[in-house]
Amino acid sequence: MNEIYDMNPKPTIYHEKQVKELCALHALNNLFQTRGTFSKSELDSICSRLSPNVWINPHRSMLGLGNYDINVIMAALQKKGCEAVWFDKRKDPGCLDLSNICGFILNVPSDYKLGFVMLPLRRRHWITIRQIQGNFYNLDSKLEAPQLIGRSIDLIAYLKEQLDSKEKELFVVVSKEVEEKQLWMNQYALQNNIQHTNTNHQQNHCDSPDSASEYDYRNRDVECLKVTEVRNCMVRRENGS
């Protein structure tokens, strides 16, 4: 008897589901596709290193249930040799070089529930998107199962749709080397971006400061330290300085 083999078996996908306010923890573990890549205690430790000797840590919820901010995610990724690069939503996601990208972390607004009661509070929710065996999946911890997005062209369309919302922010997760050489962006798009930046820089010598084209981090919905500031803070704390 001839045996029939499935030539396209469904991939095995690790998918952590939502517990308390630990979506950042789930997003990190779903990104690396391994249970226990990070633990709550590790993220709490990062919070303490980022803001030592404070009664209320600004990088997590007051009750210590989670709700970690982007600084914690950045510092956690750096432990694994990765960086989180904020994506300027004014750019077309088509400029991304997907072959050099580990995954994406999307930050979206989220309603807060206590049981079945919707409370008038707003939280920020972290979602991982990454490629597994050729297809991209939405690994949102609030989903019952991973959601298939599709191939590269489907991902670009999906990201465009998500970034149409001013309340959503996208972070591109790459290796340290890729971040340093900016290989996460197509070289053609990168060259155009450099030329555009140089043009804006020349214009800004004549314009007022309010007309500067650079993104103002103070106006962002998500608190975000520059990657280098997070790294330097972690190094100083680990050296005991």
| CATH number of the domain within which 59 lies | 3.90.70.40
Please indicate, yes or no, if residue 132 is contained in any of the structural domains.
Answer: yes
pLDDT tens digits, residue range 143-166?
A: 999 999 999 999 999 999 999 988
How many residues can be counted in the chain? 241
Exposed e or buried b for every residue in 158-196, given b needs 16+ CB within 10 A?
bbeebbeeeebbbbbbbbeebbeeebbbbeeebeebeee
The C-alpha atoms of residue 149 and residue 73 are separated, in whole angstroms, by 24
Is residue 157, in this structure, part of any structural domain at all? yes
Angle separating helix axes 227-238 and 70-79, nearest 10 degrees = 60
When the pLDDT of each residue in the chain is averaged and rounded to a whole number, the result is 77
Average pLDDT on 49-61 reads 84
Asked if the model's pLDDT at residue 42 lies above 80, the reply is yes
Alpha-helix residue ranges (DSSP H) falling in the chain: 23-32, 40-50, 70-79, 152-163, 176-181, 187-204, 227-238
As a whole number, mean pLDDT of residues 215-232 equals 39
Domain presence at residue 78 = yes
Residue 121: pLDDT over 80: no
13 lies in some domain: no
Is pLDDT at 238 greater than 70 in this prediction? no
Q: Is 95 considered catalytic here?
A: no
Is position 125 annotated as part of the catalytic site? yes
The first and second tokens of residue 3, run together, are 């045996």
Question: Domain of 110?
Answer: 23-184+222-238
CA distance 230 to 232: 6
Residue 14 lies inside a defined structural domain of this protein: no
Q: Domain count for the chain, please give it.
A: 1
> Which pLDDT belongs to residue 219?
36
Q: Are 16 and 126 in contact (CB under 8 A)?
A: no
Handedness of CA 162, 103, 177, 71 (dihedral sign): positive
180 in a structural domain = yes
pLDDT confidence of residue 84: 96
Residue from 20, 75, 22 nearest 46 by CA: 75
> Cα separation of 98 and 64, whole Å?
36
Question: Is 192 domain-assigned?
Answer: no
Q: Among 23, 47, 82, 102, which one carries the catalytic annotation? A: 23
Backbone angles phi, psi at 191, to 5 degrees: -65, -40
Pairing state between β 169-175 and 147-150: unpaired
Active-site pick, 47, 125, 224, 233: 125
Q: Which amino acid is at 126?
A: W
The two counts, helices (H) then strands (E), for the chain are: 7, 6
Q: Which position has the higher pLDDT, 74 or 21?
A: 74
d(CA 151, CA 52): 44
Any domain includes 9: no
Structure tokens at 153: 């062209």
